A and B are shown apart, each in its own frame.
Chain A
Amino acid sequence: MSSTAAGSPLARPQAAAVETPLRRFISEFAESRLALFGLGLFLLIVAAALLAPWIAPQNPYDLAQLDIMDGRLEPGSRNGADTFIYWLGTDDQGRDMLSGILYGLRISLSVGAGSAILACLVGASLGMLAAYAGGRTDGLIMRLVDLQLSFPAILAALMILAFLGKGILNVVIALVVVEWAYYARTVRGTALVERRREYIEAAQCLALPTRRIIFRHLLPNCLPPLIVVGTMQVARAIALEATLSFLGLGVPITEPSLGLLIANGYEYMLSGKYWISFYPGIALLVTIVSINLVGDQLRDVLNPRLKK
């Protein structure tokens, strides 16, 4: 939820934004070793997720490949058929945790990124429209935002999933519905301030088409707060999906995401079978940290007010 926030109240005038050439952007980004490390880590994770079917020792989504007789084995145990080793142990169904995590990454990343991108597209367009058009359109959109924000994310997602049924696509839809309003609010706040600035007036005087003004002039200047909200929302979406799984409403049980793996292992924490919940937790953590390291640096690079 939330972080709405991050955007609208911070929406203050920005120094004249210039379209930064790509090269300068890259060199500024590379100033932080931490961010580069984060980027490297993130690319590695994405690669691991993409290559999962080839590098995982087992297809954890194929029930016929699982055997409950191999359930809850400790890390380092051999499988019943003695063909490979469960390096990270198995869960209650005899699912290899390593394979489960690799496949789970794909689900979590696609749910997180998919919902964040879609929500951003929907939210930013509506927010921009609200700010630029003003008047009745603005009122309507912002009341819609109020409506959406007034609804607890979990409850909204719960209802949407009850309507649509389970499934990865449905989870994405639910998350988009829950999160678009944050982007809309953020963008509108920034855009309201920006559109009164001289460069927009100048563009209007030049009689540039509205679409061009919005997308070429207004949008780039609203990006920094959007990226702040965006990086936090990707992480948030992944965590929210985990909570939905905990409440029994996330992705299908036979195709667990990282969140569902954690939720499944949660019940075994007290009995000392830590690996069922711990390793997916670590994977989730590393993923989110890497996204945020990149996001933080992006924000600093993109924020014109931090330029000396």
Chain B
Amino acid sequence: MTVFLLRRLLQAAAVVLVMSLLVFLGVYAIGDPVEILISPEADQIERERAIQALGLDLPLWQQYLVFLGRALQGDLGLSFVFNEPALRLILDRMPATLELAVGATLVALVIGLPLGLYAGLRPHSPVSKGILAGSILGFSLPTFWVGLMLIMVFAVQLGWLPSTGRGETVTVLGMRWSFLTRDGLAHMVMPTVNLSLFKTSLVIRLTRAGVRETMLMDYVKFARAKGLSPARITFVHVFKNILIPVVTVVGLEFGGTIAFSVVTESVFAWPGMGKLIIDSINVLDRPVMVAYLMIIVLMFITINLVVDITYSLLDPRVRLEGKS
């Protein structure tokens, strides 16, 4: 196990390194930040000064080495636009995105699990078919479109919820959170629902599929034969069994949710990381883009590693040593 762990860690480090190169090259292939950032009225001399000030006069490999050297010391560079450390900018915005993503995950579980369970237990009832058809809406409607519809209905027409923004926040542990205030919660409702749409569909479908398969398993038949109540069978035996894959997937999806919050955040003017990255892409703020992508990469790799390890512990048939 230790050997396996060590090897995975080494591999993860290699992935991070390769990824840093790819990200760097990818980000540096798009456009010319000086053209975007500089005032249109700037003359040629001012343009040359800006290129130098941003360190863009060096050859690409030198820029990469400078970046790598600093990155090893935990410094991902200064934002071109804000002249502040890119890492700090992102960490500042992280709580906003985290609470949105956690909220969306909770909504998905709270709505998705019961509906999926029902649809799995009664696969042929019209309600189940309705649930399943409804879940298709969750991933076929474009997020940005649903977001605007929500705003139009609940903020503009009905006036129940604030249209955009984050509302009042409270500082806890040095970070600003909005789920602790009433106003903040009201602001969170629509973006959270918007972001959870896809995830909810996913949970419904996974739960339904899991329940249908598990109900036919021998141990469920035995439980029935033993005369256990249907409720006990459903909630203790079946539920416990399907929870593992569902939670695994939701865990894996968490990173994706954070990445995908880009669209939701820009529709709802939610000042999170996703909004920051879209703004940064629009002005080609390369240090922020690179730092953001590196953070995402690290996060995903960590999640994957944890999932794989849990997996091998849970299911002895999958031996991750991968020797044949």
Contacts and interface: CB of A to CB of B under 8 A. Distances in A.
Answer whether A and B touch in the complex at a CB cut-off of 8 Å: yes
Interface of A: 1-6, 9-10, 13, 34, 134-135, 138-139, 143, 146-147, 149-155, 158-159, 162-163, 189, 192-193, 196, 228, 232, 235-236, 238-239, 242-243, 246-247, 259, 262-263, 266, 269-270, 277, 281, 284-285, 288-289, 292-293, 296, 299, 303, 305-306, 308
Contacts of A13: 317
Contact of B245 (A10, A138, A269, A292): A10
Contacts of A159: 26-27, 29-30
A232 B263 contact: no
Contact of A305 (B31, B216, B296, B299): B216
Report whether over half of chain B's contact residues are helix, strand or loop; otherwise say mixed.
helix
Interface in B4-52: 11-12, 14-15, 18-19, 22, 26-27, 29-31
Contacts of A299: 209
Contacts of B18: 147
Sorted from nearest, which 9 A-B pairs have the closest CB atoms? A152-B259, A150-B300, A9-B245, A288-B140, A5-B249, A162-B30, A242-B142, A159-B26, A134-B324
Contact of B152 (A236, A238, A270): A270
5 contacts: A2-B256, A143-B11, A151-B296, A155-B262, A159-B29
Given A9-B249, A159-B29, 11 more contacts: A139-B322, A150-B255, A151-B293, A159-B26, A192-B318, A242-B142, A247-B263, A270-B152, A288-B136, A289-B140, A308-B216
A176 to B, nearest CB: 17
Contact of A143 (B14, B210, B263): B14
B259 A154 contact: yes
Listed residue (A139, A146, A292, A293) with the most chain B CB atoms within 10 angstroms of its CB? A146
Nearest to B205: A6
A284 B323 CA distance: 46
Q: Assign chain B's interface to a size class.
A: 35 or more
Interface string B119-154: 000000000010011001101111111001100100
A146 B300 contact: yes
Contacts of A306: 212-213, 216
A152 B296 contact: yes
Given A146-B300, A159-B30, A306-B213, A292 B136 contact: yes
Given A10-B245, A154-B262, A305-B216, A235 B140 contact: yes
A266 B139 contact: no
Nearest to A231: B136
Specify the main secondary structure of chain A where it touches its partner.
helix
Given A147-B15, A289-B133, A306-B212, A152 B142 contact: no
Nearest to B151: A270
A89 to B, nearest CB: 18
A284 B140 contact: yes
B94 interface: no
Contacts of A189: 318
A48 B26 CA distance: 39
A9 B322 contact: no
A189 to B, nearest CB: 8
Given A259-B142, A270-B152, A308-B216, A289 B136 contact: yes
A288 B134 CA distance: 12
B235 interface: no
Given A5-B202, A9-B249, A193-B317, A285 B300 contact: no
A284 B202 CA distance: 19
A246 B262 CA distance: 12
Contacts of A266: 144-145, 148
Contacts of B219: none
B281 interface: yes
Contact of B322 (A3, A138, A193, A238): A138
B66 interface: no
